[in-house]
Amino acid sequence: MSNILNKKQPLFTFVIVFILSLSLLGCSSESINNSGDSSSESENMLTFAWPRDSGDLNPHLYNPSQLFAQSMVFEPLVSYQEDGELKPHLAESWEISDDGREYIFNLRQNVKFSDGTVFNAQVVKKNFDAILNNIDLHSWLGFIPKVAQTEVVDEYTFKLTLTESYYPTIQELAVVRPVRFLGEAGFPEDGDTSKGITTPVGTGPWVLDEYKVDEYAIFKRNENYWGELPSEEKIKVKVIPDAETRVLAFEKGELDLVYGEGVISLDSFKQLESTGSYETSISEPIATRQLVMNTNKEQLSDIRVRQALHYGFNKEAMVEGVTSGLEEKADYILPTNFPYTSNVRATTVNYDSEKAKQLLDEAGWKLPKGKDIREKDGQPLEIELMYNSAESIQKTMAETLQSEWAGIGVKLNIAGVELTTQVERFKANEFDMNFFSNYGAPYDPHTFVNIVATEGFGFRESISAYPNKEELLTQIAEVQQTTDENERQILYTEILGSLQEQGAIVPISYIKQVAIYQKNVSNFTFPANRDEHPFTGISIEK
């Protein structure tokens, strides 16, 4: 079985960091580049708000640095684009050996860092080696523990050798961190970037210009940029932790743009949209909101019970009502705009309370005369659903499920807990049901199926009653290592279809990003990579 399945602690650490970063909670960091107040503002500057400080922009580390800001300054070898297409970026092309172990990257020439120094294979190797010298920090990324050697072939050719075949390598090179490239001037004397960097020098279209910790960051256009220069000269990021304050600032015209996940409530978004005074955008699905049922629990070990619960609530009405139509009912456990997901075949479930009751009867859970809760062998059909108490959507969906399942004779107890508790209980298999969402582009589908197969996280234990569990685990190990594209597609189709058919992972809705911006902002587009900045091509008329 692939090595990543044995890396459960780094993988779990990644999950904690990833979920916390999406939650937009916490305090900002100290800064090494505090230049004081901005004395004047460029007319050709776009201003938006973010709940947290941008951080020190170390490309090789994680929180508190914010993903969008890191992606403005630092670039990858490979870029993740629409429909999961992987395109050349700092690497113009690449070749993969027949055994899937050797990767040769032909680097783009005439690329300079923002300080004017040259981007070449030597600096690529220096960045890789800095990451590999702190492998425990980064082994959540599947290919990192498999790197056997990094090599400068010539000035613009870099070779990466793995210990074994691992197909997601190219896709993982597109993530925002940690494999992006810092210029020589940014490295400390000992080369250990895990302790901090000297200055955030990258090849990206933006350069950090002014910064006041917990107040704002201003990025200016990188005039040395090798690609098409941005239309805007500057991007200003105001740190506004409170969501209502962000809305007020936008309404006052102090902000040109608000975008992302959780940076504005859905009610506020709909209210602002309804005025007709602003432009709005909604992204394609970036993840699936899921309900995970623990088959270790006796009540949920029977597939007929799991199927009955799926049939027993009006998913479409719930999603429409709770999200004001901004999310859409999900038929599949991963969005179909991800790689290898468009061909998945699984039974799509529509609301049918009578079928739900029939399935519960068949499973032996009968409704005694004069009672509201079904019983089997004298035990009530009582289940607990855990949700993140800070997530209003999870709370409202939990309350809806509680009401709807009562109609088919199921007692649902709902428990709101803090995010860290939710993750810890999931990991420890101490739950009946739990809300979850996958990681999105460019992580999935391989990261999601790896999580399912990882011991000690929660999924592997929760699917323990699946009759084909061992076959699934074998297929997940195989799909990472196959070098045959057709075989890989077949494996993913079988894995994702089987996971859904067994009913322990119920797709609820497709999560989307939202953006609202002033009328003078144009050419806003959401990046295909969930974590990238959205400023490519954006322009503003002052």
Q: What is the mean pLDDT of the chain?
A: 90
Distance CA 376, CA 56 (A): 58
Mean pLDDT of 305-326: 95
User: Is residue 40 packed enough to be buried (19+ CB in 10 Å), middle (13-18) or exposed (0-12)?
Assistant: exposed
| Per-residue pLDDT at 29 exceeds 50 | no
CA dihedral 98, 101, 102, 106 (to 10 degrees): 90
3 state DSSP class of 84: helix
Nearest to 100 by CA among 143, 155, 138, 132: 143
In this predicted structure, the answer to whether residue 11 has a pLDDT above a threshold of 90 is no
* Closest C-alpha to 105, from 153, 148, 145: 153
Q: Which of 232, 178, 211, 199 is nearest to 517 (CA)?
A: 232
Q: Which residue has the higher pLDDT, 86 or 460?
A: 86
Share of the chain above pLDDT 90, in %: 80
For residue 407, name the pLDDT band (cuts at 50, 70, 90).
very high
List alpha helices for 441-525, DSSP H. Answer: 446-453, 459-462, 469-481, 485-501
Better-scored residue on pLDDT, 36 or 114: 114
- Give yes or no for residue 390 having a pLDDT over 80: yes
Q: Which token pair is 102?
A: 């050797």
**pLDDT tens for residues 340-367?**
999 888 889 999 999 999 999 999 999 9
Indicate the pTM of the whole model.
0.87
pLDDT given at position 9: 47
Give the span between the Cα atoms of 447 and 450, in whole angstroms: 5
Listed range (20-34, 125-139, 458-472) with the worst mean pLDDT: 20-34
* Mean pLDDT confidence for 456-473: 88
- According to DSSP, the residues that pair with 290 across neighbouring strands are 436, 507
* DSSP secondary structure letter of residue 119: P
Place 34 in a pLDDT band, splitting at 50, 70 and 90. very low
